[in-house]
Structure 1
């Protein structure tokens, strides 16, 4: 899968997803770095067929209301350490992958993965 990890999440997450075989870019690697706007992130993700990985509810709202970004993984774990976040992502990765194959809006919570149907489904 092709991911674009938002600035609110650690670059370590992007690196770990890359280690696990995914094509991953963190916003810190974009031309405007972590100052890249949400609109620009959505446009880049849609143009490059990437899934936005974020904590930011604005991406969820934009996805649901405007269809952009076309796919989004919302990390809704509350305050957990980066180490615990990496562990959770890795332990749930196959469920996340499966959910993103069939859905466009997926949420990772501490208690698991929630897949939401595509708008209009």
Structure 2
């Protein structure tokens, strides 16, 4: 499974994901125009490389449902939490994330109260 971690999320998350067996994770700051990469460029890059975009950004959710890009998205709606707590949330839900990855397209939202999946 390949992940592309958006600029507003910590590099710590991409490092954690990269250490999981069979996973590759890249932070947006490592590709294209780094933090200046547009959302459209991120979507295109993710779709071309079969990557799951991990973001806090509502714009990616809107683009997923309206424009069908990015095809695979995990949106974090936890508010401000520590990097360690964010990694813990991913560890706790990693099996679900792996299950979703086999789909051609999906939207997964991880919030404080619940996890919502579509796709």
What TM-score do you get using the length of structure 1 for normalisation?
0.89
Q: Which residue of 1 aligns with 2:33?
A: 32
Secondary structure in 2 aligned to 1:51? strand
Of 105-114 and 23-32, deviating more is 105-114
Secondary structure in 1 aligned to 2:32? coil
Shift of 1:58: 0.3
Higher relative contact order (CA 8 A, sep 6+): 2
Q: Could you tell me how far apart the structure 2 residues matched to 1:28 and 1:20 are?
A: 20
What is the aligned residue count? Answer: 117
In structure 1, list runs of 5 or more residues that go unmatched.
none
CA RMSD of aligned residues (A): 1.4
Whether 1:5 aligns to 2:2 is no
Give runs of aligned pairs for residues 34-113 of structure 1, distance below 5 A.
34-102=35-103, 104-113=106-115
Whether 1:116 aligns to 2:94 is no
Secondary structure in 2 aligned to 1:8? coil
Q: Which runs of 4+ in 1 moved over 2 A?
A: 99-103, 110-113
